[in-house]
């Protein structure tokens, strides 16, 4: 196990705390915990070596994933976050790579209670974007400086991003990360989240198929 650092790297938005190996249903990962020095949130890098046993490096497959309690722990069908995390972990277990798991960004950064308020507004007919706006928030409040700091600590300055979201790519590139390509992650489609996914595609620019069908596999 790597010893915890006593101070952050000068200029880094995160402080490394500890590394340990964790067995999971997908295999054993190295997990490195970080404290976000801007937001105070606790993040984790979930790391899998490649088939040849080498650690991820430039050009690695990386998923930057925001915490979603409702989708990941409660199995909500209003989003595809749980299946996305599961698919990402399975993919890096097979191919090698990193999942950077960002805590404190529930509901695109508005928090759990406000996310449930947004759900309630969606029951009245608003889509996911307008519900956030009606609560006084931007369409997406998430920030990725912490993720960029974690990737820098891992020595990864260029990557293939497992995501459908060009905005995530843009923000990472603003923080100095070279995104070589977006690798589609199309999973968890259901009748309950079809409208949510349509909004992500049509109003937020996510790279999703025009016709979404329940049960679509990882593309």
**Catalytic residue list:** 140, 142
Instruction: Please give the Cα distance from 21 to 71 (Å, whole number).
Output: 25
**Residue 42: both structure tokens together:** 């606790």
State the chain's maximal CA–CA distance in angstroms: 52
The answer to whether the annotation marks 79 as part of a ligand binding site is yes
Q: What number of other Cβ atoms are within 10 A of residue 137's Cβ?
A: 17
The answer to whether the annotation marks 84 as part of a ligand binding site is yes
The answer to whether the annotation marks 63 as part of a ligand binding site is yes
The answer to whether the annotation marks 66 as part of a ligand binding site is yes
The answer to whether the annotation marks 57 as part of a ligand binding site is no
| Cβ(119)–Cβ(54) below 8 Å | no
The answer to whether the annotation marks 168 as part of a ligand binding site is yes
**Residue 178: both structure tokens together:** 């070279």
The answer to whether the annotation marks 78 as part of a ligand binding site is no
Instruction: Please give the Cα distance from 197 to 195 (Å, whole number).
Output: 5
Strand extents, DSSP E, the chain: 14-24, 27-36, 42-48, 60-66, 97-102, 158-162, 178-183
The answer to whether the annotation marks 107 as part of a ligand binding site is yes
Can you give the length of the chain in residues? Answer: 219
The answer to whether the annotation marks 67 as part of a ligand binding site is yes
The answer to whether the annotation marks 32 as part of a ligand binding site is no
Return binding residues for Zn(2+): 68, 79, 81
Annotated binding-site residue numbers: 63-68, 79, 81, 84, 106-108, 128, 163, 168
Binding residues for GTP: 63-67, 84, 106-108, 128, 163, 168
């Amino acid at each position: 196990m790597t010893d915890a650092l006593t101070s952050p790297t000068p200029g880094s938005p995160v402080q490394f705390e500890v590394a340990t190996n964790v067995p999971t249903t997908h295999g054993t990962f190295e997990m490195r915990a970080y404290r976000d020095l801007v937001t105070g949130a606790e993040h984790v890098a979930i790391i899998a070596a490649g088939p040849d046993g080498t650690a991820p490096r430039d050009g690695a497959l990386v998923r930057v994933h925001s915490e979603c309690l409702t989708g990941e722990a409660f199995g909500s069908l209003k989003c595809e976050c749980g299946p996305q995390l599961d698919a990402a972990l399975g993919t890096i277990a097979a191919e090698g790579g990193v999942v950077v798991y960002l805590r404190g960004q529930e509901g695109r950064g508005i928090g759990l209670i406000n996310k449930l308020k947004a759900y309630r507004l969606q029951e009245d007919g608003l889509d996911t974007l307008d519900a956030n706006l009606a609560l006084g928030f931007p369409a997406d409040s998430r920030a990725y400086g912490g993720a960029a700091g974690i990737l820098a600590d891992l020595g990864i300055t260029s990557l293939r991003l497992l995501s459908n979201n060009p905005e995530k790519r843009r923000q990472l590139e603003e923080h100095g990360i070279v995104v070589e390509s977006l690798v589609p992650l199309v999973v968890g489609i259901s009748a309950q989240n079809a409208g949510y996914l349509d909004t992500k595609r049509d109003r937020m620019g996510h790279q999703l198929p025009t016709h979404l069908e329940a049960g679509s596999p990882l593309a």
